[in-house]
Structure 1
Amino acid sequence: MQIALAPMEGLVDEILRDVLTRVGGIDWCVTEFIRVTDRLHPLATYEKLAPELLHGSRTRAGTSMRVQFLGSDPQCLAENAAYACELGAPVIDLNFGCPAKTVNKSRGGAVLLKEPELMFSIVEAVRRAVPAHIPVTSKMRLGYETPDGALDCARALADGGSAHVVVHARTKVDGYKPPAHWEWVARVADAVKVPVFANGEVWTLDDYLRCRSISGVDDIMLGRGLVSRPDLARQIAAWRDGREVRPMAWDEVRVLLDDFWRQARRKLAPRYAPGRLKQWLGMLTRSYPEAVELFAQIRREHDCELIDRLLQVEIEEAA
């Protein structure tokens, strides 16, 4: 059984990957997608979106990080994947699930679920381009408008050479509206001969146990649920290993939040850091009443030094 942290564009960046993987329970994580159109990205792109490549492709906690690509040009994707492997990527992941309108309009993400033949060609081209010992994996939704083609899409990925398939159990049109259709994950798992991961609407340990029962798969990829409850992977891992499940208290979460803010202040421009903090804190309000109060205090603030004082966090001056 494996527990993965989902690639969430615009949210799970290197800072949040670092913070969440240090909590424990996460077996591997994935970068935000790297959009590939018609060129080979320079080193700077990889240093920005996948800085863990400079540190053995692992987060500070030692959690393995995979590089994810999104696009529709098989050859260009293959060239970028090969380059990422040269930089140290241990696994190449391919995105066929992003529901964003801007991405879909430029023929990326979930819109490709309408073209299983192209999905096959993309995976096959990337699989040929990267060293044999480096796995190629993929993530998909159930379809664009309906799940009618889900099995064909999953077979296309597996037949193309995907070592496993992560299934976000909703269509593009569903977006993130509940419920997630975990019964379709079971159908996909029956249709392919590679491991299948379930993804979608797992917010608690009880949700995971229900998902596992309905989908029939043990492997799980956690996205918003893990961002909202930083120890969710650790709780699931404790259950898996027969250990006591002890939920994280708010004072422990505050330590993580303060560390996140310090990193954001150091690594992000002042106009971006407050937004990233509020984005994560807003997600935490789902699980922690204390986060609701704190979010109310800072939601309208844009001045980093004022937020420092509200959080009572000391920021070290850059050398």
Structure 2
Amino acid sequence: MPNIVHHTDESADGGISPFDTAIREIIAGEDVLFASPYITLDYLEGVLVDTASWRLLTDMEAWLDNYRRSERKTIREFVARHHERIRDVRNLHAKTVIGETGALVGSANLTRTGLGRRDELGVRFDEPERIAELREWFEGSWNESSPAKLDAIDERVQTSSPVPSSASGSSATSIPSESRRVSASLTTSGRSNRQTSETADVANEDAHRRLVERVGKAQSRSWIDQHFDLFEELLSVTGLDEDDSILVSSIPKSGGIRITINNRWVLTMMRATRNSTTFILSDDTENLDDLISRSMKYEAFSNVNDKPAPHLLTFDNGLEQITDPSFRRNWLRAMLDEVDSRY
């Protein structure tokens, strides 16, 4: 008989997740089939050790784009180690764990957030006919798809924004997938939703095109890589993650690649010229007047709650500032001030 899986008051208050409990009971010593577009890798690896064997369906683009660049490289290494066990299914949205004697189907991704910090719902099955039906669905999807192409994953890791796509809203080089494309019709009343979907597709293609164009305008690959490393440091120092709405990466049509925190620019590349970098600095930054005099452009934010406003300084070649430890510390301090200002 199917059983509903959901959080109880106890689990919501720090107890063990019922989803995690169900998964670990289902997979113990069995041949397990997983399907999930978003995955926390260390959680998945911890589960896999208890299986007898396993295979995974996922959407590689969605999985990669949900994480920072350094984490994407770790995911790529995992996929390379288990290449024949993983199939790339574009636009996969199903979330299920299917053992030989039990299965869980629900709304939760195989992520720590989905299993432990969101109010999800699932159904656990133990009837042989239902499990057989689920395994048949998995095998059908498996046979209609193929392993992700590692060279395409490498290219996407390098060309996508260093911040997660949920924050950036931009796409990168596509990973070819041989899985079927779903395009079913929906029963609608009034105006069709097709126009909205097509408009969104055009917007994503436009964002992708702009990102490729911007990166291509950088003075060198080394220059762009050092700036992307700054993005990584920003995420590490501030502690912001892919779910944090105060962090936004954008590729405005007016030019440049921009990172904002609390709607304030904190780092912008190639805004004024192809070599320029714009940094946020606090009002009490040491030698601020000297830095302003050396910058090619200076802007000040408006004061909020009588607190001194930070400043935006644009330099013709940001590499000099990036490699200056004192400047870098001041820039990071200004970003932390922006994060703290939301409280």
Q: Tell me which protein shows more strand as a share of its residues.
A: 2
TM-score, structure 1 as length reference = 0.28
**TM-score of the two chains, using structure 2 as the length reference:** 0.26
- Normalized per residue, the structure richer in helix is 1
| Structure number with bigger Rg | 2
